[in-house]
Chains A and B, each alone.
Chain A
Amino acid sequence: MPERKIRVLIAKPGLDGHDRGARVVARALRDAGMEVIYTGLRQTPPMIAEAALQEDVDVVGLSILSGAHMTLAPRVVELLHAQGMDDVLVLVGGIIPEPDIPLLHAAGVDQVFGPGAATGDIVAYIRAHLQARLGRAAYGEPP
């Protein structure tokens, strides 16, 4: 039986117009063997939740530089849960002030990665958490 691939949606909500960081992460995840659905700039939370549903992803990564993370990220989590996608891993990347991080966790965001985060850490985090959440069998033994 072929090994199950990890599917990740990378979205860029909000109005700021550059997606270099999101693209770097998308490529790193691809190079780690994941299937990355990249959706581009200026995505609204309903667009992101609907794309996550259609693509049946395991992970949703939000890249937010606009400072609107406290409204955008919880809204995406809420919409994902409303459509029964409670076990999707939600990650936020971007410039997030320290005091906001526990608030994002409380709103259902699984992890926050700052601008200095190594892409290798993001890959390792996704692998470890999906294995814990969905069981080893689903994703094969770790290398």
Chain B
Amino acid sequence: MNDWLDLLGAGPDKPAGRRALARLITHIENDTAEGSSALAALYPYTGRAYRIGVTGAGGAGKSTLVTALTCALRARGQTVGIIAVDPTSPFSGGALLGDRVRMHKLAGDPGVFIRSMASRGARGGLARATADVALAMDAAGFDILIIETVGAGQSEVEIARTAHTAVVVEAPGMGDAVQALKAGLLEIADVLVVNKADRPGVRATVNALQTMFESMPHPPPGAPPVWFPPVIETVATKDDGIEALLDAIDAHCVYLNESNKRAEHERARVEADIMRRLRDGLLGAALDCIGAAGWEAAVAQVAARQTDPQTAAGALIAALGLGEAKAR
């Protein structure tokens, strides 16, 4: 086993440190034993980085926007780790990861590290992998982490939700707002961006979104402040509106800190993380206990209508001897 702490210690601005980080990320993605033990060792050194999630439909301009945002953060002296997630082809299991095409401007800057990730299996592995890759970048010392996902699948939306600030990107065009509403994107947005503001139809899109947020219930006087997602217009290709976007993200960060929401946020993230590992671990252990034959027998009985799914699951659980556990 490598001493990853030592390897990363070279620093993310040095080739050796960057190579170590890149190799560690591969271990994390492949869910190896080496990756798990490295994460355990690194965990005490995480928790510093601020995570920004950027999500929205394909082609909305997310990668271009991430590049412009990164340039602005670099101008303030902050280092940036980028995780760019694109979908895996369900037919071949392969993926074409093209976000770097929009990120040439960031090449050669030792304060930036870009990793492209494929969404891989749909069975929830993506949320774990991106969260753990973010932890590795955090431990490596990046100040800001930006996670770009296509806001389509459940786990992609979930990833954006676990960021400190979730930025949802729209482009002008009929029905965009409705589309985002359907995908559950507006619910998670801390900041809304209408990109491609050089295109016709911007006003209508901005107005539709603003109307939606204005209809959110206002808190009664004296109640703690509530965050209303601002709507920011940008032209990512021309760096227009990027300062305003950065200001909105800063304002949201201040809100999280002042309202104690950042601590709550961290607690919720940790709870969800342990819960997911508990669920996966318990299920795996239970299936090992039940065995292939036991599983087949239960499935066959239910398929033949000799018993029902709930009773069958109840019998399997009872056989595990966990006490009063019940099938749900």
Point out residues on A near B: beta carbons under 8 Å.
Answer: 1-2, 4-5, 7, 26-27, 29-40, 43, 46-47, 50-51, 53-56, 83-85
Q: What are 25 A-B contacts with C-beta separation under 8 Å? A: A1-B30, A1-B32, A2-B30, A5-B30, A5-B93, A27-B96, A30-B92, A30-B96, A31-B94, A32-B92, A33-B93, A35-B94, A36-B96, A37-B116, A38-B96, A47-B107, A47-B108, A51-B107, A54-B18, A54-B113, A54-B114, A54-B115, A56-B26, A83-B15, A84-B16
Please indicate the chain B residues that have their CB under 8 angstroms from the CB of A55 in the complex.
Answer: 22, 115-116
New contact pairs (16) apart from A39-B100, A53-B19, CB-CB < 8 Å? A1-B30, A5-B118, A29-B94, A32-B94, A33-B94, A35-B94, A35-B118, A36-B95, A37-B100, A38-B97, A40-B104, A46-B107, A54-B22, A55-B22, A55-B116, A83-B19
**Which of B88, B93, B115, B121 has most A Cβ within 10 Å?**
B93
Report the minimum CB–CB distance from A123 to chain B (whole Å).
10
Q: Chain B interface mostly helix, strand, loop or mixed?
A: mixed
CB pair B118–A84 under 8 Å, yes or no, is no
For B95, list chain A residues within 8 Å (CB). 30, 35-36
| CB of B29 to closest CB in A, whole Å | 8
Q: Is the CB of B89 within 8 A of A50?
A: no
Number of interface residues of B (CB under 8 A): 34
A76 → B minimal CB distance (Å): 14
- Give the secondary structure class of A's interface: mixed
Contact A53 B22 (CB under 8 A): yes
Best-surrounded residue of A7, A35, A85 (most CB of chain B within 10 A): A35
B218 within 8 A of A: no
Contacts of A37 in B (CB 8 A): 97, 100, 116
Q: Quick one: CB contact mask for B83-102 with A, threshold 8 Å, 1 for yes? A: 00000110111111110110
Inter-chain contact A2/B31, CB cutoff 8 Å: yes
Q: Which residue of B lies closest to A44 (CB)?
A: B107
Minimal beta-carbon separation of A70 from chain B (angstroms):
23
B8 located at the interface, meaning its Cβ lies under 8 Å from any Cβ of chain A in the complex: no
Contacts of A39 in B (CB 8 A): 100-101
Chain A nearest CB from B303 CB (Å) reads 29
